[in-house]
Structure 1
């Protein structure tokens, strides 16, 4: 019989990559983690780790064991959900991760509704991008993540997670309202010589934005970089750069830039992600229900604010699903 805690440690190593990262996450010393994995090797009877420079990597046999451990841990997740659902009171702590515009314009309303409705539920929020949030769900740092994906960059499918579509969030070209071109219909081809502000190189949003420009026949001149969409908005409003801006930005703020939906399909898709087996937990169900309620209100706010945008050419907004 294999020790479940040691299987969890091996699984953590698979997701986190280093012994020190596992030790930090689990509040152990690195030597204690190493000792636990050595004992697991003795239980299994095969080598599970091999040197990889200054690090270690999982052997083929360790990866087989991790796959089975995932199944066992998913079943335990289902058991936790079923037990929680059998109780009369919805209670517990929910750790949520969300990207910037969701954390600002969607999640405060959701968290307020959940904590008012279920007084024994505590919600903890961390702002995190998908490349941090999804591994965090797998590593049990978070219970639920709100993540985004862009056309051509779908989320990686995994039996270890459940994902649910929330809505599609249109991405519009933001251009200074004082730019004479803002009064007319625009095409990307007209903008080949303009400077841009985009997210940092290597991020999915940057790769998507660059690909959109390349398909229009030019390489964008990225003069400014920031992970903050509201920095993008500010630079666009001052006429310093063009920007791609998501509709979700405008739930609580009226645009001060001219916004143009250049072509169908220019949208990011927003999902929730939880561990496999956890979707039935009553706290997660309650939070998801609150998300759907909040989306209806957010859609109305976005539509109203987009209609007030200077020179905007479209009023299409997120569709809650």
Structure 2
């Protein structure tokens, strides 16, 4: 019989690309991962990996087994959720990933609601960039997380994860005076670090307006970016949740762009009582001016 834990390693290899990356993500040594995958190949009776020097890729049989693994893990998650519903009371930790502006504006209300309705539940918040969420969910570092997508940066699908819409918020141009993105083709820009969805959204919005932004500052905090913009250090794009308290001297102009936030979790866990409780609290905490 195929070992589920070894199947997880194969699934992670298909996503992360290297044995070293799998080992780092799951707190194994590379040699231990290699040994477990070799054992899985013996259990399967066919070659699952193709090795060329230091490079390892999945064979067609390996890719096919990963697809089955997703179904197996989803069924196991559903079984665990059903067992959790049978147990009396809702207690213990539930690990939640959140991007910073949601952690600051939504989760105070969420934690208050959960403390009142499920006092034995122990929500644990970890700040995560949405780009890191799929890996964190698959690795079991978090049980659920908030992710978002922008008009110019749609979310990518992951066969092992599910998500549901939470709310949509507008984006604003933060600058000394009212204006549009196109008005600032010659301005300096304050953007998020490379590799983030926020950065990609800004770059693609500027490209749609016919130019590439001239980056002056790379700041991974909207509050700091707005302070710099108020000082004349550049202009920046800010979502609604991060723009609730702009600094003096800064003008926010709503743009025809939006950011959509979703609740993501591992496939099969939507019915878990802890996931359902946090989801309910999140929906109740969303401000009424957001849809």
TM-score, with structure 2 as normaliser: 0.91
Query: What are structure 2's unaligned runs of at least 5 residues?
Result: none
Q: Give the C-alpha shift of residue 53 in structure 1.
A: 4.5
Q: Give the C-alpha shift of residue 25 in structure 1.
A: 4.3
Q: Give the C-alpha shift of residue 211 in structure 1.
A: 2.4
Residue 151 (structure 2) pairs with residue 158 (structure 1): no
Shift in CA distance, 34/218, structure 1 to aligned 2, threshold 3 Å: closer
The corresponding residue for 1:145 is 145
Distance 2:254 2:229 in 1: 15
Distance 1:52 1:115 in 2: 54
Distance 1:218 1:31 in 2: 48
Query: What are structure 1's unaligned runs of at least 5 residues?
Result: 177-181, 300-316
Residue 45 (structure 2) pairs with residue 45 (structure 1): yes
Residue 272 (structure 2) pairs with residue 276 (structure 1): no
> Could you tell which deviates more after superposition, 284-293 or 105-114?
105-114
The corresponding residue for 1:305 is none
The corresponding residue for 1:223 is 216
Shift in CA distance, 52/107, structure 1 to aligned 2, threshold 3 Å: farther
- Check conservation: 2:167, 2:260, Cα contact below 8 A: yes
Distance 2:208 2:32 in 1: 52
TM-score, with structure 1 as normaliser: 0.83
Distance 2:192 2:229 in 1: 14
**2:230 corresponds to which of 230, 237, 255:** 237
**1:188 corresponds to which of 163, 181, 187:** 181
Q: Give the C-alpha shift of residue 54 in structure 1.
A: 2.7
The corresponding residue for 2:253 is 260
Residue 161 (structure 2) pairs with residue 168 (structure 1): no
- Check conservation: 2:173, 2:179, Cα contact below 8 A: no
Q: Give the C-alpha shift of residue 228 in structure 1.
A: 1.6
Q: Give the C-alpha shift of residue 173 in structure 1.
A: 0.7
* Paired residue secondary structure (1:40): helix
Residue 177 (structure 2) pairs with residue 205 (structure 1): no
Distance 2:156 2:209 in 1: 27
Aligned length in residues: 290
- Check conservation: 2:152, 2:205, Cα contact below 8 A: no
Residue 97 (structure 2) pairs with residue 89 (structure 1): no
Shift in CA distance, 48/234, structure 1 to aligned 2, threshold 3 Å: same
